[in-house]
Amino acid sequence: MLELEDIQHYLLARPNAVIAQYNFITFHNAEAGRKWVEALIPTVGTAQSVLAANPNDMRWVSLAFTWNGLQKLGVSEEELATFPEAFRQGMAARAAMLGDTGINHPDNWEDNMASEDLHAVVILFARDKDERERCIKKHQEYLDQTPGVEILSTLLLEAVPPLDYVHEHFGYRDRITTPVIEGMVIGAKGEVAISTGPKEESRIPEFTSTSPGSHLPSKPGEFFLGYPDETGVIPLQPQPEVLSKNGSYLAYRKMQEHVGAFRNFLKQNGKTIEEQELVAAKLMGRWRKTGAPLVLSPDKDDRELGFDNQRNNNFDYEKMDPHGYACPVGSHCRRMNVRDTSVSRIMNRRLIIRRGGTYGPYLPDDAPDDGANRGIAVFAGCADISRQFEFLISVWANDPEFEHLNERDPFAGSIDGAFEVTIPKRPIKKKLKGLQAFTTVRGGAYFFLPGIKALKYLASLQ
Amino acid sequence: MSDNNNSWATPAALALPKEGYFELESGRYGPTFPKTPANYGFTIIVKVKEGREDIIREYGKTIEAAVKDSPNVLEPLKLHFLRWVLFDVGSGLHFMYQGIFDTDFDKYMEDAIALFNSTGVTTVFVNLEGFPEDWKTNIDAVTKFFREHQRPSFLEYGEYPYVSAAEVKSALKLKAAFSEMLDQMQ
Ligand code: HEM
C-alpha cells in the first residue's frame, strides 16, 4: 500500500496547471541548504493532499536533489555510497554511454545543468501567469531568508497553443500513455483505497483504470523506493531507510526542438497536407493532431480513435504489424514501448512516468523559424535510473544496432548532424536521408525526489 | 556494418589487446567490448562448487527442453550461439559459458537475468563459486560477477564477418522463397 501522505505528489497526481517553473538551485553551505529545505516542506504537496485538494488549487511545489546536493546538505559519505552508481555519477558523466555526443555533449548544455554546483530543483506549478508570479515571489522570499542558497538557472514551462489539446512544439498530441500503478485507487470523496478492478471510480483516472492494451498495472516498487517491484521483492535501497523510503528518481532531459527543420522535412517529403501528416505520423507512430495509433489507422487520421482511451492503446506490433508497414520499427512510440516479445519480454521493467512540458515561444504554423530556443523539458520518474531511463535512451533511442536499423530515435535520439529514417514499404523500404536533426539535447541531470519524512530528515541533519 | 557493404564476403580476423578492448567505453554497468568479425560475445569461466557437476549437466537438458517447448524463448538476447563446457585441468572443475551475440551484453543484462530466471538457467550459476545470493534483485552484483569471470578473447575470426543472426535468417528465408518460386515455375 503506497504511503500517499508521505510521497510527493509529482509522479502520482498531475497538477491541473498550464504553467510551471523549474528553479535549479545551488547551496553554498549545508546550514543554509537545510534551512531552505525546512522552509519549503510545508509547501510540498503530498500525493494525498494534492488529490484531496480543489483541482484548481495547485500551489504545490516539488523538491528534488542531485547526489551532489545530498552531499552538500550533509548526508554522510557512508550513506551517499549506498545510492546507485548512475545517480552518484550524474547524467553528464554518463554522456558517452547515453549517446550524448557532438552537439548534444554536456559541454554544450545550458542552464548550468552539467555543473557540480547543481544541487536541487524546485518545480512550481501554477494555474495561470498571476499565480506563477505569486509563487515565484514567495520562493524568492524563502531565498532571501537564506543567503547561502541561490538560483543557478530557471526555466519557464508553458503549454503550446492552441490549448484545446496537449501537445509539444512539433504539434504532436501528448500524454496519451502512462504506466498505471497497482493497488492505487482514489475514491470519489478522495479516500484512498486498494483497487479491486479497473472500473473503480477515481479522481485520477490515468492511474486507476488501465486503458485496454496498455501495460498491466505496475508494482509500486517500479517507481517508489521501499516497495516490492516486478520481481516480487523489495530491492536493496539506499540508506538510511528514512531517506530512501517513498522516494523516486527523476531523470531530467531538456531537448530543443528545431521546429523549422521539422516543418521543412515534412514539406520536402510530402506534396500535400495529407502526405505531410502521414510522414509526421510515420516518425512518431501516432497521428499528430489526435494521437491515433498508426497500427489501428495506417492510412489516415482518426480523431475518434485517438481520443478514445478504450481503443487508443489497444494494439501490439508483434502480431498486428511485424514488419512495420503501418508503424515503422524506428518510430518514437515503437522504440519507447516495443509491444513485441521478440524485442523485449520485460517491458514492464522499462517503464517511466513522464512529467514535464514545453518551454520557449510558440511558433505559429505559418511563421518562419525564428531560431528561438524552444522544446521539451521532461522528468522521467522511475525507481532504477539505469534499468529504466538509461536503457530507453542508450539502447532503444540511441543504439544504432537497435533492430538493425543503423538509425536513432528521430525525437529522443541524440542526433548530431544528418540522419536517416527507414519507412518500411512495399515493394521496397523507403529511406529518407540527409535529414537535419529535429532535436538537440540541451541539458540533463539525475535527481532524487524524497518523501516528506526524508525531507524532514535532510532538514534536520547536523 | 554489413548492411552497407559486402564486408561479409571477405573473411576477417581481429587481434585484441589484453583487456579485450582498444579504447575504454563504458556501458551502464562497466566497460563494453567491441564488435569483432565474430560479433559480440563473452567467455565466462568459473569454478564449480564441490559436488555440483551432475546438477549442472542436468541444466543442459533443462535448456534443451525450454527451447524445444518455446523456440523463441531466448530471442530477446540477440544470440547466435551458446556453448557450455565443463572441464578440469588440474585446478578443480570449471564451467565455461561462451556466448556469441549481436550486441554487447551490458545492454541486455536485465533481460538475461529475467530470462534465466524464467527458464531455470539462473540456477546453473547458483552452482558456481561466488555467484551472489541476492542475484534476483541485485543486478549490479550479478553484472560484477560476470565481469570478474569474463576472459576476453585476444583473437576473433569470422568466415562471414560482422553478420547478424537476423541477416543470416533473412538470407536463408530469401533462399527458401527463391527455391519455392523456382519450383512453382517448373
Ligand atoms: C523532443 C523530444 C520528444 C518528443 C517530441 C516526444 C513526443 C512524444 C509523443 C507525442 C508521444 C506520444 C504520446 C503518448 O503516447 O503519450 C511520446 C511517447 C513517449 N515518449 Fe516521447 N518525446 C520526446 C522525447 C522523449 C524522451 C527523451 C523520452 C524518454 C525519456 C520519451 C519517452 C516516451 C515514452 C516512454 C512514450 C510512450 C510510448 C508508448 O507507451 O507507446 N520521449 N513522446
**Contact with chain A for residue B173, Cβ under 8 A:** no
Residue of A nearest to B27 (CA): A97
A251 within 8 A of A378, measured Cβ to Cβ: no
Partner-chain residue, chosen from B28, B115, B167, that has the shortest CB–CB distance to A97: B28
**Is the model's pLDDT at A5 over the cut of 50?**
yes
Residue A274, Cβ neighbours under 10 Å: how many? 11
For a mutational test of ligand 1's pocket, the pick from A174, A258, A337, A391, i.e. the residue with the most ligand atoms closer than 8 A to its C-beta, is A174
CA distance B89 to B92: 7
| B4 in any annotated domain | no
For residues B6 and A118, the model is more confident at: A118
* Average pLDDT over every residue of A189-213: 48
Residue A312, Cβ neighbours under 10 Å: how many? 25
| B35 in any annotated domain | yes
| B66 in any annotated domain | yes
| B40 in any annotated domain | yes
B179: which 3 cell numbers?
527455391
Per-position DSSP letters for A248-314, written without gaps between them: EEEEEEEEEE-HHHHHHHHHHH-SSHHHHHHHHHHHHSB-TTT--BTTTSSSS--HHHHT-TTTTT-
Q: How far is B32 from chain A (nearest CA, A)?
A: 10
Q: Scan residues 114-153 of B and list those with Cβ closer than 8 Å to A.
A: 114-115, 118, 134, 136-140
A57-74: per-residue pLDDT in tens? 656 799 999 999 999 999
Q: How far is A342 from chain B (nearest CA, A)?
A: 5
Ligand 1-lining residues (CB < 6 angstroms)? A 168, 170, 172, 174-177, 253, 255, 257, 284, 286, 291, 332-333, 336-337, 352, 354, 376, 380, 389, 392-393, 411-412, 439
* Average pLDDT over every residue of A253-279: 94
A330-375: per-residue pLDDT in tens? 999 999 999 999 999 999 999 999 999 999 999 999 899 999 999 9
Question: How far does the centroid of ligand 1 lie from the alpha carbon of residue A412, in Å?
Answer: 7
Residue nearest (by alpha carbon) to ligand 1 atom 27 = A412
**Contact with chain A for residue B34, Cβ under 8 A:** no
A250 within 8 A of A379, measured Cβ to Cβ: yes
pLDDT reported for residue A213: 84
Residue B180, helix vs strand vs coil = helix
Residue B81, helix vs strand vs coil = strand
CB-CB neighbors (< 8 A) of B27 in chain A: 97, 394
Contacts of A136 (CB under 8 A, 6+ apart): A21, A124
Q: How far is B157 from chain A (nearest CA, A)?
A: 21
Question: How far does the centroid of ligand 1 lie from the alpha carbon of residue A304, in Å?
Answer: 21
| B3 in any annotated domain | no
Q: A233 and B115: CB-CB below 8 Å? A: no
Of the candidates A426, A456, A337, A457, the residue with the CA atom closest to the CA atom of residue A41:
A456
A210 within 8 A of A198, measured Cβ to Cβ: yes
Per DSSP, chain B holds a count of helices (H) and strands (E) of 5, 5
A258 pLDDT band (50/70/90 cuts)? very high
Strands A120-126 vs A19-27: parallel, antiparallel or unpaired: antiparallel
Per-position DSSP letters for A137-179, written without gaps between them: HHHHHHHHH-TTEEEEEEEEEEPPSSTTS-B-TT--B------
* Average pLDDT over every residue of A119-146: 84
Residue nearest (by alpha carbon) to ligand 1 atom 42 = A412
pLDDT reported for residue A364: 95
For a mutational test of ligand 1's pocket, the pick from A157, A277, A354, A393, i.e. the residue with the most ligand atoms closer than 8 A to its C-beta, is A354
**Is the model's pLDDT at A203 over the cut of 60?**
no
**Is the model's pLDDT at B140 over the cut of 90?**
no
For residues A436 and A317, the model is more confident at: A317
pLDDT reported for residue A200: 38
Per the structure, how many domains does chain B have?
A: 1
CA distance A396 to A412: 9
CA distance B3 to A348: 32
pLDDT reported for residue A417: 80
Q: B111 and A345: CB-CB below 8 Å? A: yes
Contacts of A76 (CB under 8 A, 6+ apart): none
Residue nearest (by alpha carbon) to ligand 1 atom 28 = A412
Q: How far is B111 from chain A (nearest CA, A)?
A: 7
A71 within 8 A of A243, measured Cβ to Cβ: no
Residue A430, helix vs strand vs coil = strand
Angle between helices A259-269 and A273-284 (to 10 degrees): 120
CA distance A328 to A405: 11
A328-to-A333, A341, A426, A429 alpha-carbon distances in Å: 9, 17, 13, 10
| B121 in any annotated domain | yes
| B5 in any annotated domain | no
pLDDT reported for residue A187: 45
One-letter amino acid of A346: I
CB-CB neighbors (< 8 A) of A236 in chain B: 134, 137-138
A323 within 8 A of A207, measured Cβ to Cβ: no
Contacts of B33 (CB under 8 A, 6+ apart): B20, B21, B40, B42, B104, B152
CB-CB neighbors (< 8 A) of B140 in chain A: 84-85
Q: A341 and B4: CB-CB below 8 Å? A: no
A381-to-A182, A223, A394, B8 alpha-carbon distances in Å: 16, 7, 17, 43
The atom number, within ligand 1, closest to the CA of A351 reads: 35
pLDDT reported for residue A249: 98
Q: How far is B67 from chain A (nearest CA, A)?
A: 14
One-letter amino acid of A121: V
Query: Maximum Cα–Cα distance for chain B, whole Å?
Result: 63
B112 pLDDT band (50/70/90 cuts)? confident
A208 pLDDT band (50/70/90 cuts)? very low
The atom number, within ligand 1, closest to the CA of A376 reads: 1
Percent over 70 (pLDDT), chain B: 95
For a mutational test of ligand 1's pocket, the pick from A177, A327, A373, i.e. the residue with the most ligand atoms closer than 8 A to its C-beta, is A177
| B1 in any annotated domain | no
Residue of A nearest to B166 (CA): A404
**Is the model's pLDDT at A198 over the cut of 50?**
no
What A264-272 contacts at long range (C-beta under 8 Å, 24+ apart), as own/partner pairs, is A264/A436, A265/A432, A265/A435, A265/A436, A265/A438, A269/A432
pLDDT reported for residue A56: 61
Write the DSSP symbol of residue A211. P
Q: B166 and A94: CB-CB below 8 Å? A: no
Identify the burial level of A317 via C-beta atoms within 10 angstroms of its C-beta, where 0-12 means exposed, 13-18 middle and 19 or more buried. Answer: buried
Please count the residue pairs, one from chain A and one from chain B, whose beta carbons lie less than 8 angstroms apart: 63
Partner-chain residue, chosen from B1, B76, B136, that has the shortest CB–CB distance to A231: B136
Mutate to test the interface with A, among B25, B28, B40, B111 (most CBs of A within 10 A): B28
Least confident of A40-44, A427-431, B8-12, B43-47: A427-431
B94-101, strands of its sheet edge to edge: B40-47, B94-101, B79-87
The domain of B99 spans: 11-185
